[in-house]
Structure 1
Amino acid sequence: MPATDPGFTPEPEPGPEPEPDAGPAPGLIDPDLADEFPALLAGIPRLVRRRLRQELTVPRLRGAQVELLRLVAANPGLRVSAAAKELCLAGNSVSTLVNQLVAAGLLRREVDPADRRAALLRVTPEAAERMDAWRANHKALVDGLVAELPTEDRAALAAALPALRRLAAQLQRGDDAGSTYQEGTTDDGH
């Protein structure tokens, strides 16, 4: 068929083969993914926390306080400087969080026997109990919500977990290499 025929679609010119593991070509990603995905990832935990808070009988903790408690629970004897690095926060910000949690009876500060100028952090039994109860309630709520989803949706969520873990690892590597996050800004940089 001649090229002037309006129904004619020429064959694409052969081009170079894409490099393996080069990632997706620009434009191949769903355009809504970049906007909707982060909003959903942030929104779902926020909604779960809201539901769980309705049942709280103890004073609520701020997000950074919870993050620090989880970090110390996973790494007993962690130094304040190491916690600051892991949380991507300034040392004085973590010191303030430590003081708040010590005053609330949820964190214990001990002198490091190897360096008496440094403090080692440990969660208190009260904090450990509180975190265990939160985890159990969180698991029960999420299990119940997921159980209500259709089988296909549950399978899709399970299938997405490895990709989400890789994405989290990729983001963590970016933070370790030097994040562009500046303390005092919101998530959108303001």
Structure 2
Amino acid sequence: MTDETVDQLGGALGDLHRLLRRAATQRVGRTALPDAQVEVLRLVQRWPGIGVREAAERLGTAPNTISTLVGELTAAGLLHRERDPADRRTVRLELTDAARERMAAYGRHRCDLLGAALAGLDDPDRAALLAAAPALRRLADRMAGHG
């Protein structure tokens, strides 16, 4: 492993993310949400009922930043805030049906686009990329502090 190969991996992952996001958003026919809002939605999707403070910790940002994003997403009808019955000072976050539908549609388009691109590769490249998926997930989790 060299700095150059690590840099190539990072660059390829960044390019792939950007290209998939742009193409899938165009297919859905909606204006893309800011990355920070998408991060909050994806976090709430993975951790339904997460609180603002924990969301901030997991995303490595200030609680007031998350509160602002939650306010924007709530106003857009994508997040629902509910008081924790055990601690009324704590707010629990849940996706709305509209958010679930939007994320599912985006996910379907992203999967279709990625599947078509993978189908265009030769068998060894496709197999190598698919085999790397679990390791990439572990890498992402480790970098996020969850692994």
Structure 2 CA distance, aligned partners of 1:166 and 1:107? Answer: 28
Deviations 1:84-114 (A, max 9, x none): 1111111011001000000101001111111
Does 2:2 align with 1:39? no
Pick from 124, 127, 151 the counterpart of residue 123 of structure 2.
Answer: 151
Counterpart of 2:82, as a letter, is E
Does 2:46 align with 1:74? yes
Deviations 1:30-65 (A, max 9, x none): 452122111111111101111122223333211111
3-state DSSP of counterpart to 1:122: strand
Structure 2 CA distance, aligned partners of 1:118 and 1:52? Answer: 35
Count of aligned pairs between the two proteins: 147
Does 2:106 align with 1:137? no
Structure 2 CA distance, aligned partners of 1:163 and 1:74? Answer: 19
Aligned alpha-carbon RMSD (Å): 1.9
Does 2:63 align with 1:95? no
Give the TM-score of the pair, scaled to structure 1: 0.71
Q: Which runs of 5+ in 1 are unaligned?
A: 1-28, 177-190
Higher relative contact order (CA 8 A, sep 6+): 2
Deviations 1:151-172 (A, max 9, x none): 1111221233343234334323
3-state DSSP of counterpart to 1:32: helix
**Cα gap change, 1:53/1:80 in structure 2, threshold over 3 Å: closer, same or farther?**
same
2:22 aligns with 50
Name whichever structure is richer in helix by fraction.
2
Aligned-residue sequence identity (percent) comes to 45
Q: Which runs of 5+ in 2 are unaligned?
A: none
Counterpart of 2:119, as a letter, is A
Runs of 4+ in 1 over 6 A off after TM superposition: none
Give the TM-score of the pair, scaled to structure 2: 0.90
